Each structure stands twice: as C-alpha cells, then as structure tokens.
Structure 1
C-alpha cells in the first residue's frame, strides 16, 4: 500500500477523526505494514503492548480467556483499531488476537503515536479529553452496578451479567 492509501484508511478509523492530513501522514509514515496468515496469532492476552493495529484487509478474532476458558470473543474487520490503549500507555494485551483469514494491518508503535502527540499538543489535548470522558462513563457504569448490588452485597456477577446489566439500563 502507498502512504496515500494508508492515510485514506486511517481517516476511516473513528479514533483518528480529530487528526488532520499532516498528522495522519506523520502517523502513517512511521507505521509498518504487517501480514499474518490465517490462524496465525498476532498477539496473546497478557503480552506487553507497545503498538496498535489497524486492520486493512481480512478479519481478526479477539478472544478474552479466564481460568483456561474463552469467555468472550469478537470479530473485527477492515478499518478496526486494535490496541488503542497501547498507543498511549504501557500496558498488557487484554485479549488474544488471531487472524481468521489472511490479514494485513498497519502497526502503529507507541513511540510514533507519542511523537505525533508531542508535535501537535492541541491534538493531544483533544485525545486526552476524549479518553477522560470515556473513563468517566466507565466509572459511572461501575458505580451503577455497585449501587444495584448494594454496599453489603456478597453476590458476584459474571462479566456477561455485568455487560447485560449495563446494556439493559442504558
């Protein structure tokens, strides 16, 4: 793919909505194209994360496991960003990513993303505010769950029950 086509693809990813062409060009210029074969693991749950991936072709299965069992699975396709938190902070992968079919991705390393944020502090402030708003929403959802259970409740909800509860009440 060319730099221009990479920029065009990044424009379609909602996370990059606030980026202008120069910012996307810098991001795309520092990114790497990667290809994975069908059934190949892109990364494993718990791995250190230093980059995000934008799927350009194919589909990826994201799987969260707990106690040796797959508890949640999602399929992502072209235009999806995987690992957005890894662009901003040192973290571990919260899920395993496996290519369902042959897949091509644009890999954006945290160092490249931070370089763009350093060169465009106004953009960094926008991204910061967006993430702060999402975290505030998450905290609100968790507080709602806690209040519904009661402070003294010993009842434990599964991840599926919490998700169902939050979706039902919102």
Structure 2
C-alpha cells in the first residue's frame, strides 16, 4: 500500500474537519462509501485510503437520468468521471449518425483521455439508466497522477486494453467489407 506524504495528510485533515463541521454525519457516510467505490476502480485500487478520502472529498458526486449526457464530443476535457452506479453509452458522431463504440458500467472511468492528452472530448457519454458518478477535476486528477506514478501504469493498462479491443473491432469491420477471396 502506498503511504500518504506528510503534507497531504494535514491537507486532508483540514478539508475533512471543515467539511464535517458544516455537513455532519451524512458527509462522513457518503465519503466512506465513495472511498470504497473508488477502491473498486482498477486505477485507484493501490492508492492509500487517506488519499482516496481526499480525492472523494474534492470530487463532485453527480446524478444523471437515462438519456442525459455527461459530456459531448468536442467539449473541453475538464474532468474525469468515475461511474459509481448505472450504465452509459460512449457514442461518436459520424457522417452516418451516432455510432455506439463502448458500454460504461460501474467501477469504470471515462473522460480521462481528454485530460491526459489535453485534447477535446473524443466522444459523447450518455446515461442509459440512472447514473451516479464522481466528477474529478482535471487539476485533482493530474495531481493524483504526479503523486502516484503507479496509477499511471494502471491507466496505461486500461488504455491499452481499450486500444486492443478497438483494433480487434476495426479488423473485423474491415474484413467484413473486403470481398471474399475465391478459393
């Protein structure tokens, strides 16, 4: 387990005491739930609980109804979203209309590509059911990466898996378009 740098622990304690003073026991319970949910996300699984508490405290818990968009293709990438519950589709605009390119389920993260590559959103993410997420600002996400380089390795694994999946789908689609060779 990775330790929390001394400075981070005191920042957390300051933020924690300020938040609990104003919002009480409900905040404590929500924060504890959010930390447990973050630990289930592969890229956060090795992060110390105290750091996850700070991340959860500085993140925004948001809900979306089925059909609502978290963000749109082309938007500025200002945050990543951890899916706590519910499902969503990742869709990309094309000349033929929207194309669904992926499903999003609990314990996954979306929106990180725009943050990491400092580019506009590459797709739209649309809730397909009631969806609850933690919105992590770009600033906090990048700070977490700098504090925990091993998290970057987990992100690379997730992105490599997505690339592998996309390559397989592209290969299958192109193969289907090519005329069958006579045998």
How far off its partner does 1:106 sit?
0.5
Secondary structure at 1:92 match in 2: coil
Residues 56-86 of structure 1: CA distance to partner in whole angstroms, max 9, x if unpaired? 1211111123224233332222212112224
Residues 23-69 of structure 1: CA distance to partner in whole angstroms, max 9, x if unpaired? 21121111001111221111111211111111112111111232242
- Summarize the alignment of residues 65-80 of structure 1 with structure 2, pairs less than 5 Å apart: 65-80=93-108
Secondary structure at 2:136 match in 1: strand
What is the CA RMSD across the aligned residues, in angstroms? Answer: 3.0
Structure holding more helix per residue: 2
Larger Rg: 2
Q: Give 2:144's aligned residue.
A: 116
Give the TM-score normalised by structure 2. 0.65
Q: Give 2:59's aligned residue.
A: 31
Segments of structure 1 that go 5 or more residues without pairing to the other structure are 146-158, 166-170
- Summarize the alignment of residues 135-146 of structure 1 with structure 2, pairs less than 5 Å apart: none
Structure holding more strand per residue: 1
Q: Say whether 1:162 aligns with 2:174.
A: no
2-structure distance, mates of 1:99, 1:80: 13
Q: Give 2:75's aligned residue.
A: 47
Give the TM-score normalised by structure 1. 0.69
Task: Describe the shift of the 1:101–1:164 C-alpha distance in structure 2 as closer, same or farther (beyond 3 A).
Answer: same
How far off its partner does 1:117 sit?
3.7
